[in-house]
Amino acid sequence: MFVARRYTAFANPATDYVSLSEAKQHLRVTSSSDDAYITNLISMAIESCSAYLGYSIRKATARYAFDGFTGAPAMVNPINGLNIPSGNYFRLNSRILAILKVYYLNSSQTLTEFDSNAWIASTDPMGLFSRNVFIESSPTSITDDLIKYIIEVTEGFEPAGTAGVDPDKLCPASIKHAALLLVGQYYDNRQAITVGVQNSPLNFGFQYLLDAYKISVLS
């Protein structure tokens, strides 16, 4: 099962997804005195939207760690002797753009890459982006530690306007606007409390804009 995730690199800064000029236009700010502060708010907003969605909005290289297989051992087709890809697999419930490498930790705690013909990745499931990785043959030596397998992937979105990219892989306007709502909220509220102000959530606001981009969990 999945136990941890670590990001090792980001392809783009947060301001490639919401630019400083877009944020200032949203805030109706014309002065440059707060540019650094607003830039930090953009980074915070993209990080917060990512945390809500459960994956990085920024295109990133990530490593997913597992303590074992998600499914039961693979069955063998009695007709041709080939593995039926229904077991010995890992499930990645994230916005996966590409599966890069698959590793295991051997009994000497050495990170070892599977041969490319030792695993099969499921195809892109019609825009849902969750992926399964099926292992054709288990390693003969495996660690007793918690983390036994690591899968390296590219996940997230390409910045809007990126040329030559499937439109479904571009950051949607709804996510950008959700981030702008956070920038506006924290630009106007610079303390952890509000005094003498009655607030109410915006209808069709932050969560409404983001919920459509949460990952559907494969069964």
Domain coordinates in residue numbering, the chain: 2-58+159-211, 60-155
Rg (CA), the chain: 21
Give the pLDDT mean for 72-91: 62
pLDDT tens-place string over residues 200-216: 788 889 999 999 998 76
**Beta strands per DSSP E along 54-168:** 60-66, 75-76, 83-84, 89-92, 96-105, 111-113, 119-121, 131-135, 149-155
Strands 111-113 and 96-105: antiparallel
pLDDT for residue 185 is more than 70: yes
pLDDT score, position 219: 42
pLDDT score, position 66: 93
Q: How far is it, in rounded angstroms, from Cα 159 to Cα 3?
A: 29
Q: 85 or 167, which is more confident? A: 167
What are the Cα distances from residue 85, in Å, to 30, 132, 148, 205?
Answer: 58, 10, 21, 41
pLDDT for residue 162 is more than 60: yes
Q: Give CATH superfamily name and number for 2-58+159-211.
A: Phage gp6-like head-tail connector protein (1.10.3230.30)
Strands 83-84 and 89-92: unpaired
- What pTM did the predictor assign? 0.85
Which H/E stretch holds residue 8? Answer: strand 2-10
